[in-house]
Amino acid sequence: MADQISAAVRRRRDPASTREAILAAARALMAERGPEAMTISEVAHRAGVNRGTAYQHFRTRDELAAAVMHGFGQRLTAMLTEQSPVGERIDRFLAFFVEHPEFARLWIYDMLASPDGAPSDSWRVFVTTLEGFAQASDTQPGIDPEMLARILVGAPLFWSLWVQKSTVDDDDRRRAVARFAREIKRLLLFGVMKPEQWTSMVSELDGGEGAQ
Amino acid sequence: MADQISAAVRRRRDPASTREAILAAARALMAERGPEAMTISEVAHRAGVNRGTAYQHFRTRDELAAAVMHGFGQRLTAMLTEQSPVGERIDRFLAFFVEHPEFARLWIYDMLASPDGAPSDSWRVFVTTLEGFAQASDTQPGIDPEMLARILVGAPLFWSLWVQKSTVDDDDRRRAVARFAREIKRLLLFGVMKPEQWTSMVSELDGGEGAQ
DNA sequence: TCCTAAATCAACAACACTGTTGACTAGAAT
DNA sequence: ATTCTAGTCAACAGTGTTGTTGATTTAGGA
């Protein structure tokens, strides 16, 4: 690619929004083809910015990537710390990845790359939550929160990749969430919770019987 | 990197094993940093082969990548079609990814890239198996095999990433498999199977109670 | 034993990306 | 109004990658 094709319209000066545009383009690109494949050239092109401008905001390619991952971790932690009943929580968790596919993908790419397995803050938050859950009186004894956490994150992440490719409209996606949530809830309800103490969830599952 | 550093020792002529060495190096590299990041230069270097030789065996970079993925799909399907009781099957499935980390990683990378969501043959094999399972009389009615398949593949895949980073010796890994298998089995036993018809699995779970 | 097809390799051109530099200019400060 | 800081941009050198070509060597058949 030539350094600049043509269209020598100078960008209106606005550092903050320029920075945000660069970050957004980088995030999208990293999610699409992986952090490794993110290129300053393409980021700048997508953001409608000169490549040199990107280097003004982020000293190196790696610094830009790190900035993206930082913002990502913050957002993720925020999502994981929102409190609500188990059932809704699952729905929100799934919906989040369906509505923000790039977050699921970024998380996956990060797990593939990072030495310890997950954006550490977010992960600790999640495991801690599950530890509380496992020790409550309405769940079965002998649950391994760390392993359960792996299941409850890994399965939705993997599933969300499929949702991205196989759904076209919002209705599709809502149905996909319901379908997957139902299986997850069944497993949780009978595998880790004490169903007799969660009658509303039992009836929710019985009610949605016809779903397919 | 210079085209060739030095060490002008000519490789002993042996096309078959050369090809295999190239494939192995490519597979390792693709699994490590993703298919996109695999370069012929590095593959050739790792395989101890001249870059030109690699081009002799595989016309283009993409052809090499495709060859790797083809072999991967075959191996995966073979693994998925091996028959055995549910419990053992889970153990084998987990052990496979722990013993061959590059397969888990390749599968994930492939899902991230492929438009339809999975190495199609292997996936169909797996879902078909689960369909049979879901219709048997010793499992609960109303199971969604496709969704269950996403869970039963996704969770182990991501878990295995963690295992790779957090275990050092074979004993560690055996313990990790046992720990995760226990959670998966509990979920399955109570969430999709009829426990009263799977007494041996129930007692296996009760027995391993002390596991941590 | 000799010959030849094929395997191995080094060097080349074309290209993309990285990080740097210096020019240009818009907006803030004086 | 003038100055000056800093946002924006084009061009440069350096490096790594791709795919190609032609030289060199060796395994194995005639």
Read off the pLDDT of residues B41-100 as tens digits, 9 standing for 90 and up.
Answer: 999 999 999 999 999 999 999 999 999 999 999 999 999 999 999 999 999 999 999 999
Domain residue ranges in chain B: 11-58, 68-207
CB-count exposure of residue A161 (10 Å: 0-12, 13-18, 19+): buried
Share of chain A above pLDDT 90, in %: 82
C1'-nearest nucleotide to the CA of A59: C19
**Protein residue minimizing CA–C1' distance to D16:** B1
Q: Is the pLDDT of residue B9 over 50?
A: yes
Residue type at position B202: V
Query: What is the overall mean pLDDT for chain B?
Result: 90
pLDDT in tens, A171-212: 999 999 999 999 999 999 999 999 999 999 999 888 755 444
Architecture of domain B11-58: Orthogonal Bundle (1.10)
Asked if A144 and B109 come within 8 Å (Cβ–Cβ), the reply is no
Tell me which of 2.30.30, 1.20.272, 1.10.357, 1.10.10 is the CATH number of domain B68-207. Answer: 1.10.357
Q: Which chain A residue has the Cα nearest residue B37?
A: A36
Express each pLDDT in B198-207 by its tens digit.
999 999 888 7
Q: Is the pLDDT of residue B17 over 60?
A: yes
Q: Tell me, yes or no, if the two domains A11-59 and A65-210 fold the same way.
A: no
Q: Contacts from B133-142 at CB under 8 Å and sequence distance 24+?
A: B133/B86, B134/B192, B138/B193, B138/B194, B138/B197, B138/B198, B139/B192, B139/B193, B139/B194, B140/A186, B140/B191, B140/B192, B140/B193, B140/B194, B142/A209
Q: What predicted TM-score, i.e. pTM, was given to this entire model? A: 0.91
Q: Which CATH architecture best describes the domain A65-210?
A: Orthogonal Bundle (1.10)
Calculate the average pLDDT of chain A.
Answer: 90
Q: Do B166 and A105 touch (CB under 8 A)?
A: no
Residue A209 pLDDT? 53
Q: Residues A11-20: what's their mean pLDDT?
A: 83
pLDDT at B209 over 70: no
Q: What confidence tens digit (pLDDT) does each residue in A132-162 have?
A: 999 999 999 999 999 999 999 999 999 999 9
- What Å value separates CA B61 and C1' D19? 9
Q: What is the pLDDT of residue B5?
A: 39
Domain spanning A11-59, CATH class: mainly alpha
B116 to chain A: nearest residue by CA? A165
Please give the pLDDT value at position B8: 56
Q: How much is the average pLDDT of B107-115?
A: 90
Q: How close B8 gets to chain A, by Cα (Å)?
A: 32
Residue B173 has pLDDT above 80, yes or no: yes
